[in-house]
Structure formats: structure tokens, C-alpha cells
């Protein structure tokens, strides 16, 4: 496969380092004047994203009132917000900017792979392959072939990612000798569906697993300025066309994981897909859902079903 690169990693590196520099500068300036103010300011700057997350959870609570999925109570939302607050810096402040290529794709020759089924990992919006690092380590230990893509341009059309997914599916299939599983987070599930309609490719994959994918759009994308963000808005022309095209083509089996505390994809039922195995995880936020033990364990079990 083509050597991986990530422009998003460079963007996140700059953002992370600037944020830390600002927090450290505040701490140094106020340390002798007011230790309490120095510490409070440092924490406020370093964890400013947590306030944005809180807004998303408040919007989720309001929008979900009319959704058929059981509504989360305030205590459940608070726990989900705290978990996401702890998860976000690991993903956006470490794995994606600095460790995005820590676990390379594993594509042995067919005899070496032992005919084990492989996985293609497809990340979501404003992410790169570093998102999947805990998954990649686990799959590598099990000896299964895998490839994790970088979807670029970061703010381009979702249709721009079709060729990237095609290369990864081809490489993993050649390595394992079997149709792979596609594991997709958020926008990655829509990119996988765009790839499927470019085929048809239904027989080339064993199953598609989506985690927090806005199959029916998301309320939060209504104000997006990027092309792929606008495509994910509820009722967008792009989503309506994708649905119509998908209905006219054969589809592989789908498993769709969704949550009543998804702070990015809501109303919650928008992450489900007609005809799919739709599985609810109660109390998990958007990023945290991708690393939920149940989600990971049941997806890994699919690898052994030849």
C-alpha cells in the first residue's frame, strides 16, 4: 500500500503544543502572584475542550426528547461527559498527533497469515488512523491482517475517500485470502457506504461494523462549514442520495453500535440503519463508544467466524 501520511497529525501537533504553551505561560506568570489563580487558569486552559463537550451534552439532552431511544438521565450524561473529557486528550492530544503511526498496518503473505480474516479500520471526522491504536495492538497480537486508513483531504467530500478504502480492502483481502471486516467510527461508516455503492462491493466484505455513525445525519452538523460536515447534516442531499443508491444495491451484513449518550451523533436513533443489527450501548459518549469493552469484544469475535 501507499506509504501513510497525515496532515491532520501536523495540525493536531500544533494545536496541542500551542494549548500547552498557553497553559504553561499562564502558570509561570501567576505562580508567584497567586498560586490558586495560576493552578485554576492552567486547568481551565488545558481542559477548555471540556466546556465544548458540556454544550454538546446539553444539546443532546434537548434534541433527544423526541427520539424513540430511551433518554439518559442527568447522572448518566454527567458520567458520559466525564469519560469523554478523559478520553479526548488521549485521542486528540496524543495518539492522533504524535502516535498516529505507532502500530503499522499488518499485511503478511497469505501462508503467514494462516488464512485469518482481516480488518479494515476507517476513522471518522477530524481523525486519523491513530484513533484505532488500542484496536490495532489487540488485532496485531491475535495475528490477523489489518490496515487502518487516513481519510484525506480532512475536510473534503466523503466521496473522496472511496479510493482510499478500495486500496485498503484490496490489500487486506490479498493478505488474508478472505473478505475483510470493515470497522468504522462515525463518518467512517458513511465513507464505507460510499465505497459500497461505487462497486457494487457487497461480496468483497464479510461485515461492516459501524460505531456512532450518523447514518441518518446528525443535528450537530447543521452549522458545519466543511463539505463532509454538511453532508452529514440531517436531511442533506448527499445522505438522501446515499440512501436511495444503497437501497438499489446488494449490501453486506451491517452491525451498528449506537448510544443514548452520543454527544456528536444525535438524535440517538440516527446512528441506526434499517435492516442492520442495531446494538444500543447505554451511557457511552461518541469517542468513548469506540473503546467500550462490549463493542471491542463482540467485534473481535467476528474475526473467528469464517
Q: What does each of the 306 residues of the chain score in pLDDT, given as a tens digit? A: 555 678 999 999 998 888 788 878 777 767 777 777 767 766 666 677 888 999 999 999 999 999 999 999 999 999 999 999 999 999 999 999 999 999 999 999 877 767 899 999 999 999 999 999 999 999 999 999 999 999 999 999 999 999 999 999 999 999 999 999 999 999 999 999 999 999 889 999 999 999 999 999 999 999 899 999 999 999 999 999 999 999 999 999 999 999 999 999 999 999 999 999 999 999 999 999 999 999 999 999 998 875
Distance CA 235, CA 66 (A): 17
What predicted TM-score, i.e. pTM, was given to this entire model? 0.93
Task: List the one residue out of 229, 211, 210, 209 whose CA is nearest residue 220.
Answer: 229
CB of 26 closer than 8 Å to CB of 41:
yes
The three-class DSSP label of residue 258 is strand
Task: Check residue 234 and report its DSSP letter.
Answer: T
| Fold of the domain spanning 110-302 | Rossmann fold (3.40.50)
Per-domain residue ranges for the chain? 110-302
Amino acid at each position: 500500500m501507499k506509504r501513510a501520511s497525515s496532515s491532520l497529525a501536523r495540525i493536531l501537533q500544533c494545536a496541542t503544543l500551542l494549548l500547552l504553551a498557553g497553559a504553561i505561560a499562564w502558570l509561570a506568570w501567576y505562580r508567584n502572584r497567586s498560586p490558586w489563580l495560576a493552578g485554576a487558569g492552567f486547568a481551565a486552559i488545558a481542559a477548555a475542550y471540556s466546556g465544548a463537550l458540556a454544550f454538546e451534552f446539553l444539546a443532546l439532552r434537548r434534541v433527544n426528547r423526541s427520539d424513540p431511544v430511551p433518554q439518559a438521565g442527568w447522572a448518566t450524561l454527567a458520567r458520559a461527559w466525564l469519560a469523554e473529557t478523559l478520553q479526548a486528550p488521549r485521542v486528540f492530544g496524543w495518539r492522533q498527533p504524535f502516535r498516529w503511526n505507532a502500530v503499522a498496518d499488518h499485511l503478511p503473505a497469505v501462508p503467514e497469515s494462516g488464512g485469518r480474516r482481516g480488518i479494515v479500520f476507517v476513522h471518522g471526522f477530524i481523525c486519523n488512523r491513530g484513533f484505532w491504536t488500542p484496536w490495532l495492538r489487540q488485532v496485531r497480537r491475535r495475528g490477523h491482517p489489518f490496515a487502518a486508513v487516513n481519510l484525506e483531504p480532512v475536510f473534503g467530500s466523503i466521496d473522496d475517500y472511496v479510493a482510499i478504502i478500495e486500496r485498503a480492502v484490496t490489500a487486506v483481502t490479498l493478505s488474508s485470502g478472505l473478505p475483510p471486516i470493515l470497522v468504522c467510527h462515525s463518518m467512517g461508516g458513511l465513507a464505507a457506504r460510499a465505497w459500497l455503492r461505487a462497486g457494487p462491493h457487497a461480496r468483497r466484505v464479510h461485515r461492516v461494523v459501524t460505531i456512532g455513525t450518523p447514518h441518518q445525519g446528525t443535528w450537530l452538523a447543521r452549522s458545519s462549514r466543511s463539505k463532509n460536515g454538511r453532508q452529514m447534516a440531517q436531511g442533506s442531499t448527499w445522505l438522501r442520495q446515499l440512501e436511495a443508491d444503497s437501497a438499489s444495491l446488494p449490501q453486506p451484513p451491517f452491525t451498528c453500535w449506537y448510544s443514548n449518550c452520543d454527544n456528536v451523533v444525535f438524535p440517538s436513533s440516527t446512528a441506526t440503519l434499517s435492516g442492520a443489527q442495531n446494538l444500543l450501548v447505554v451511557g457511552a459518549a461518541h469517542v468513548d463508544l469506540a473503546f467500550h469493552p462490549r463493542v471491542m469484544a463482540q467485534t473481535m469475535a467476528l474475526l473467528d467466524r469464517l
